[in-house]
Amino acid sequence: MPPSPNTPAPTATHRPELLAPAGDWECARAAVENGADAIYFGLERFNARMRAHNFTLADLPALMAFLHERGVRGYVTFNTLVFADELDAAADYLRAIIAAGVDAAIVQDIGICRLIRRLSPDFPIHCSTQMTISSGAGTDFARDLDAHLVVLARENSIKEINAIQEAQAASGRPLPLEVFVHGALCVAYSGQCLTSESLGGRSANRGECAQACRLPYELISDGQKVDLGDRAYLLSPQDLAGLDVLPELVRAGVASLKIEGRLKSPEYVASITRTYRRALDQILEAAPPAFDREAARYELEMSFSRGLYTGWFNGIHNQELAHGRFGTKRGRFLGRVTRVQGDRVFARLESPLKAGDGVAFDAGRHAEGEEGGRIYTIDTAKSGESVLTFGRGAVNFGRVHVGDRLWKTSDPALGRELRATFAGDKVRFTRPIRAEVHGHAGAPLTLILDDGEGHQVKVASSAPLAVAEQRPLDTERLRQQLGRLGGTPFQLGELANHLEGEVIVPLSELNQLRRDAVAQLTALRQAPLRWALTAPDPTTTRVAANATAVPTETAPELIVVTRDLAQFEAALTCPGISTFYCEFENPKHYREAVTRFRSHQQTTSDFEHPTSNLSTAKPSIWVAPPRVFKPGEEWILKQVRSCEADGFLARHHEHLRFFADDRVRGDFSLNVANPLTAEFFRERYGLERVTASYDLNIGQLEALLQNAPGDWFDITIHQHMPMFHMEHCVFCAFLSSGKDYHDCGRPCEKHRVALRDRVGAQLPLKADAGCRNTVYNNRAQTGAEYVDRLVALGARYFRVEFVHESPDEIPRTIAAYQRLLRGELTGSALWQELKLLNQLGVTRGQMETGPRTILKKRS
């Protein structure tokens, strides 16, 4: 909520941009008419909200002319991963976007950033929150991409934002920062959620998130269900509301404040935009307008709310972030049911309610469905209780109980008020322009209008100024006539009167001068921005010509990924394995793993099986830092490096910098989906190899290998897909009363925990050194049936990953894949063998072409 009267005003002088979402034309108008400085929107392809209505390429000229006339910037969301066989289409799409004069593209894919720069040397790139930029190294990375702005991860606190700004200032090349300030919070780090991909073949990195985080789960600890009462929505955070911390964000120098909601209604866009516009103006204006704190909170709750919370801005508080009681819209809490008599419900209300409002009865069993409807009448009983009646058949009163929570979910009157702010073509929100007038008797009156955004027009009257015998054109009279800007997107701001002497011109002439100047200024603003575009070139989407393929005689290598010491020791005894990757929850154990690896080297004369025809790579052990880094966590990276492994897996921008002098390979979290991305990591950061994105199915993997050398890539052919990767700690939130690692008692070190979904699958849960949680798919997925095709295209390095397998399972699985790579076993035969080896069987997972099952969407 807005700051209290005692909150000191921000000292920063900049005005942060207010950025609103627009899923369609109505939403765009709602944003513009309620004070947005910019909007962001998607097109038919390559955007992370494919379920929104979205605009088309054909809409762009009219949309940008409308926005620019109103002084509003427009950013296209090109924020998905792009596959190798889509790069040519993406280039054509980007050419059209750039030519249409869009203000910037919001981009996730590294290869697309490089492609944009090949197409245009000056078109602005905004690094999407899907890039998981959460530290100063991330902004350095964005500068390497020649980006203009960085959208930070939602998980960054204000303290961390200030640290990033300090790091940027020290570099001497700061980039503007954008943060989400309101709307739905994804529980997983954006760009790091593979849940929908894993469960249904619908990648969040491709705009097809099925919102599995909003579903109920049971908590299983050491094999037993934990009784959590009515808390079942363990991964569903409350919605972000940053009004309380707006002064701190302004002081931190945040350049853009972003509202989430491209799937929301135009009324939602209108409500949230106008609320934050008013709050910002109160903070920034010398004479701030009045702001009703309680009315603002009510409006935010009614527009859409799963509960309002400051998210991670004030740091981590796992008890508050996700209360677990529901995962959908609620609205305003009204009170509790005190009695049910026939078709009447009695309640003690804490907030106003009126006939026509919609309500829902919350018995704490949301998954079973809830009762609710519109209020028909509301009266007051002698007891002081409110008596509610509903339309016939609207409510099953047998399912309404004493003690049920009562929520107001709809306020039609507010909805009508909000729609009135943007419906039709009427201009409602105006922006100030500066006017100057010049002239003297016998010369024309010259009017200059300046919109403060680089547009200036100069017009002269057709009739000369005359000496005024009475009522000369003084500043007051000029303001009166020039300020008649109704129906235009302007209001008269500063007026500079440079007229010499007491002069006059007919008012009709002055009015025509104003109209002509406004028309010219409007035309200037509507003109599309002109970005440089290179000539079409078929090599634009290709990697460098000197990239060499793997020699066909190079034997394939099997790389084993283990997640605890017992698994590692089991893998270490397997003949024929030369390369080991370790990802342990506690990096302190890396030193022990490296010690055991070195000892094993000394006591084993040959790491190869005597009859093996697999790779004879020099034995090596590689370790993985935690998947995300935030300011203040340097100690973790130092601890990782201290183990003196042979190499490190880069999983975050910070790792590219910290391990720059070491041997480094890129892990899957770098989201390498096309050859341009792979080439950038290899050429700019010297990575030996990168792991192909887990979003790629077999057809897309083949396209990748057809367009880049196979020895650039590790390809994972056996794994439990890492689904949610979260700052939210389920261990802390639901197995302790603490707010973070300081006071949680570390239940993650004491219990083996899983989340049980609605179909009974128990999904393993693990915590890392940064207390971030990863939920894994319980079923292993295999690409065994596709290995021959991948080898034929040059792939040589194949990863087999383990999560919760026992040490006894490790050698059997490794041996099976070794036989596959040696040609002693077919992919289909291994598929059958794995089904027998694994208690839950196996799945083809994301390797299989096309979507498999569709998760039920949540509202």
Q: Do 171 and 110 have their domain in common? A: yes
Q: What is the mean pLDDT of the chain?
A: 91
Res. 838 pLDDT band, cuts 50 70 90: low
Q: How far apart are CA 48 and CA 204, in angstroms?
A: 7
What pLDDT is attached to residue 740? Answer: 93
Domain co-membership, 173 together with 32:
yes
pLDDT score recorded for residue 459: 98
Instruction: Please state, as a whole number, how many other Cβ atoms lie within 10 Å of the Cβ of residue 500.
Output: 11
Same domain for 278 and 362, yes or no, is no
Q: Is residue 200 part of a domain?
A: no
Rounded-to-integer distance, Cα 490 and Cα 505, Å: 24
Residue 856 maps to a domain? no
Q: Which of 316, 344, 370 is the last residue of a domain?
A: 316
CA 220 to chain centroid, in Å, comes to 29
Residue 8 lies in a domain: no
Provide the number of structural domains found in the chain: 5
Neighbours of 229 (CB within 10 A): 8
Q: Say if 534 falls within a structural domain.
A: no
At 615 the three-state DSSP class reads coil
Position 682: which residue type?
Answer: R
Are 603 and 740 found together in one domain? no
**Are 269 and 284 members of one domain?**
yes
Percent of the chain past pLDDT 90, that is, above it, reads 82
| Average pLDDT value for residue range 50-61 | 82
Mapping DSSP onto H, E and C, the string for 495-564 reads: EEEEECCCEECCHHHHHHHHHHHHHHHHHHHHCCCCCCCCCCCCCCCCCCCCCCCCCCCCCCEEEEEECC
The pLDDT tens digits of the residues spanning 324-336 come to 998 888 999 999 9
Residue 537, domain member (yes or no): no
pLDDT at 819: 95
Domain extent, residue 808, equals 557-720+779-847
In a shared domain, residues 99 and 244: yes
CATH number of the domain within which 402 lies:
2.40.10
If asked whether residues 231 and 245 sit together in one domain, one would say: no
> Is residue 504 domain-resident?
yes
| Phi and psi at residue 839, to the nearest 5° | -55, -40
pLDDT of residue 857: 36
CATH code where residue 78 lies: 3.20.20.60
Looking at the fold, whether 515 and 649 belong to one and the same domain comes out as no
User: Measuring CA to CA, which residue among 308, 187, 188 is closest to residue 237?
Assistant: 187
Angle at 364 between CA 363 and CA 365, to 5 degrees: 95
pLDDT digits over 399-444, tens only?
Answer: 999 999 999 999 999 999 999 999 999 999 999 999 999 999 999 9
pLDDT, position 53: 74
Reported as a pLDDT band with limits 50, 70 and 90, residue 545 is: low
SS3 of 55-107: the string is CCHHHHHHHHHHHHHCCCEEEEEECCCCCHHHHHHHHHHHHHHHHCCCCEEEE
Model pLDDT, residue 604: 76
Please report the pLDDT score of residue 211 as a whole number. Answer: 84
| Same domain as 732, residue 706 | no
857: CB partners within 8 A, 6+ apart: 210, 211
Least confident range from 28-32, 238-242, 414-418, 831-835: namely: 831-835
Mean pLDDT to the nearest integer, 544-557:
68
| 762: pLDDT strictly greater than 80 | yes
- Among the listed residues 783, 853, 848, the one whose alpha carbon sits nearest the alpha carbon of residue 821: 783
Q: How does residue 610 score in pLDDT terms, banded at 50, 70 and 90?
A: very low
Residue 738 predicted with pLDDT over 70:
yes
Residue 38 β-bridge partners:
19, 73
Residue 722's nearest CA partner among 830, 628, 849, 659 is 628
pLDDT of 663 > 80? The answer is yes
Residues 683-694: pLDDT tens digits?
999 999 999 999
What is the domain-level CATH number for residue 623? 3.20.20.70
Residues 564 and 708 in one domain: yes
Residue 525, pLDDT above cutoff 50: yes
Query: For residue range 270-287, what is the model confidence (pLDDT) as tens digits?
Result: 999 999 999 999 999 877
* Residue finishing a domain among 526, 544, 577: 526
Domain boundary among 776, 793, 812: 776
* Distant-in-sequence contacts of 645-649, Cβ < 8 A, 24+ apart: 645/582, 645/590, 645/594, 645/621, 646/620, 646/621, 646/622, 647/620, 647/622, 647/688, 648/622, 648/623, 648/624, 649/581, 649/583, 649/622, 649/623, 649/624, 649/625
Residues 811-817: contacts with CB within 8 Å, 24+ apart? 811/570, 811/571, 811/573, 811/574, 812/837, 813/718, 813/837, 814/558, 814/560, 814/571, 814/574, 814/577, 815/574, 817/558, 817/717, 817/718, 817/784
Question: Would you state the pLDDT for residue 777?
Answer: 92
Pair (284, 375) in one structural domain: no
Q: Which pLDDT band, with edges at 50, 70 and 90, does 569 fall under?
A: very high
Contacts 24+ apart (CB under 8 A), 376-379: 378/353, 378/354
pLDDT band at 39 (very low <50, low <70, confident <90, very high): very high
Inside any domain, residue 387: yes
Q: How much is the average pLDDT of 348-354?
A: 95
Q: What is the pLDDT of residue 720?
A: 93
**What is the average per-residue pLDDT within 137-158?**
97
Indicate whether 291 pLDDT > 90. no
Shared domain check, 477 and 465 = yes
